[in-house]
Structure 1
């Protein structure tokens, strides 16, 4: 019996490692860890996870050392997901694994990099970070002798791919992203169903983390003031609480005390609404959660509505701030320049990538070549992409 089986409280609708659907390539079980603990550990030790340290959340890495990166964001999501899962009696290890993996497919420079790479890849099936995450987990991580990827459990892969809900084409004529579509044909992740409860928790933990921590980073960057963000109904009572209790509190502490209260309120709302939904549905298993007609993990309608003005404020005052726009404009050009050069001149790729292209027989197949170039660029950190751009486009730079 592993340590996982000694957990004193587990809801009947939680994912049980003892009944996992297993791994695509069979492996002996660990004597000391459950299969979901093992998945979490493989994600943490992966190369793609380490690279998140120098991948943009909102601010490019050289803007400052104290802003969130994809790595710190993923750790914060995992902490929130684990805490919520413990309260609800879910499998904390699975929720943590999904949370830690959910952003692995992001390009350098965040959503700006993804937008640029998707435009470059439009003739070749497009690019999405969620699809790239699955590609990393099942193909691009090459560490193990017996398989490509990390050979994660069905529940972990399903949770990563579907953490935002059932994954189906959204309009007539649209298709699923290439990797997800191809993987569905070899191992069915039941894309039409709801994700497991742990993945649902991870998705909303992501919302909680980025809404609140983007407020923190935006304030610290001077993109808006405490008084300005306090005009938002969701934020106002917490600013007033802190100011009333701690008159004259220094600004950095005021920001932290406000943000942590907001996180607490959102977590408590999510737990209360989820319990209400669970009481209504009364699922007896993880399979019944997947078969429900809607998510069982959710914010209350009031909290979901209250977040909209905050998101609108952040979109206008932070994500579209002219200073951020200028940086992101430069970043998009970096990605487009790199893609165009490598697609036209694959002999400029590093030798290991040229070897992969030759093994795929893709030097004369533009779709194969484009996907490999996209893999190379998507795997770059911000600073590596900037350095690679300098090496290739600055005549005075050393190659």
Structure 2
């Protein structure tokens, strides 16, 4: 892979090549990507979607929106720092093509901003609820009407693939979704493979999948333009990651490791003294002891340690990326950057505590159970309304359901797979609060 292709400014529908040196410096193409994402309704909906605590009533716990904004800020720093060194190593990118350090930051920032845009309500339990509706729930009745790959898309419903769908799908009057640059879409794709085969290797890019069968052709066009290295062909394709996807992943890893931990402390789920001790271990080489000891309250100490920890991990992630740049460009780097981290032990300790004290806390589990049942009921309601069994006429209830969900405008000629995928994507687009309200409405609990 080469940077000239990987930094493509091409957008869906372009007939002519977009050249970096011809860009208007006041509003660059990669910065337009960021603007389009932040003004999209899909991004705004993240303000009422779970990051750690579903339906939290406190004002200091992160939502998917605040998490995404923070990941984007970290991603911008990662991209700029890496971009500066890449341009020094490959000066023709700047002298001949006109690329600047900030281009790398803008690409990573935009991709990071969108990284959770396809996630369902109630966090990862929402993904499981949708998948299990089709694997062991009432949705299993559709299995014989689908190809193995289509069925796999549903039973392993993936927020990353749904995000790619949102960013790229054609809708009436809107071609190419948000029409982002191919460079940003490439950086967004942490898992450039389809749903089958499921986890065929331990390669980080095979951990999940990045596009549904419905968007396979779109993905292949993007991969070809970017010059991504194909690693599997035939019926089930896979490619090496776009190099900047490693920085997007690192930005997400940094934020959820440190900031979810901070949320746990603020919620009282993790003992303050205990938690601060773990953060100090992570920043022991950069902490100013005198300054730290001068801070008189936990919030200030926590803020200081968080800033140091994020800066420490940003610096190391860039060093790891640059050290492994040749292997990454060759498609031969198969781990996340932090799998190589000198702070791996400290990071694992923090994540272990977060899992035990936050993700498996009674409050989280109780709300995830409720969310699971709500999503299953909504899927049952929508599939019976739009794909009724047998030749029976529509019930009045199903007619009312269709009217109550105007965004589920499903063409009659659409295949069963496309209809099911549209229903899943629509359900995934709901916020936590709207999911609760819709469930209560369809159960007759709300007037």
TM range (shorter): 0.7 to 0.9
Q: 1:64 aligns with which of 54, 58, 61?
A: 58
Q: CA RMSD in A?
A: 3.4
CA shift, 1:70, in A, is 0.7
In the alignment, which residue of structure 2 is the partner of 1:77?
A: 71
Unmatched segments (≥5 aa) in structure 1: 1-11, 282-287
Distance 1:350-1:209 versus aligned 2 partners, 3 A rule: farther
CA shift, 1:294, in A, is 0.8
Deviations, residues 154-188 of structure 1 (Å, cap 9, x unaligned) = 22222212x25777834569998594444333542
Further displaced range: 208-217 or 146-155: 146-155
Distance 1:239-1:297 versus aligned 2 partners, 3 A rule: closer
Equivalents in 2 of 1:387, 1:273: separation in Å?
Answer: 46
Equivalents in 2 of 1:233, 1:217: separation in Å?
Answer: 14
Q: Is the 8 A contact 2:188 2:248 kept in 1?
A: no
Distance 1:106-1:305 versus aligned 2 partners, 3 A rule: same
In the alignment, which residue of structure 1 is the partner of 2:175?
A: 147
CA shift, 1:21, in A, is 6.3
Deviations, residues 371-395 of structure 1 (Å, cap 9, x unaligned) = 2221221010111111111111134
Q: 1:272 aligns with which of 316, 319, 322?
A: 319
Equivalents in 2 of 1:247, 1:67: separation in Å?
Answer: 26
Q: 2:119 aligns with which of 84, 97, 106?
A: 106
Number of equivalences: 371
In the alignment, which residue of structure 2 is the partner of 1:50?
A: 44
1:357 aligns with 2:410: yes
Q: 1:97 aligns with which of 110, 114, 122?
A: 110
Q: Is the 8 A contact 1:239 1:254 kept in 2?
A: no
In the alignment, which residue of structure 1 is the partner of 2:143?
A: none
Q: Is the 8 A contact 1:84 1:201 kept in 2?
A: yes
Equivalents in 2 of 1:225, 1:369: separation in Å?
Answer: 48
Further displaced range: 211-220 or 21-30: 21-30
Further displaced range: 99-108 or 40-49: 40-49
1:250 aligns with 2:297: yes
In the alignment, which residue of structure 2 is the partner of 1:196?
A: 242
In the alignment, which residue of structure 2 is the partner of 1:8?
A: none
Equivalents in 2 of 1:25, 1:42: separation in Å?
Answer: 16
In the alignment, which residue of structure 2 is the partner of 1:291?
A: 330
CA shift, 1:352, in A, is 5.8
In the alignment, which residue of structure 2 is the partner of 1:5?
A: none
In the alignment, which residue of structure 1 is the partner of 2:145?
A: none
Further displaced range: 29-38 or 72-81: 29-38
In the alignment, which residue of structure 2 is the partner of 1:157?
A: 185
Deviations, residues 31-63 of structure 1 (Å, cap 9, x unaligned) = 553332222222112111111111110112443
Deviations, residues 344-363 of structure 1 (Å, cap 9, x unaligned) = 2343134564862244445x
Question: Aligned runs of 1:185-334 on 2, under 5 Å?
Answer: 185-188=217-220, 189=223, 190=228, 192=231, 193-230=239-276, 232=278, 235=281, 245-247=292-294, 249-278=296-325, 281=326, 289-294=328-333, 298-299=337-338, 300-334=340-374
In the alignment, which residue of structure 1 is the partner of 2:148?
A: none
Distance 1:238-1:222 versus aligned 2 partners, 3 A rule: farther
DSSP-derived class of the 1:58 partner:
coil
In the alignment, which residue of structure 2 is the partner of 1:130?
A: 160
Further displaced range: 241-250 or 36-45: 241-250
Distance 1:289-1:176 versus aligned 2 partners, 3 A rule: closer
TM-score by length of 2: 0.73
Q: Is the 8 A contact 1:242 1:254 kept in 2?
A: no
1:371 aligns with 2:421: yes
DSSP-derived class of the 2:169 partner:
helix
Unmatched segments (≥5 aa) in structure 2: 84-100, 141-150, 232-238, 387-397
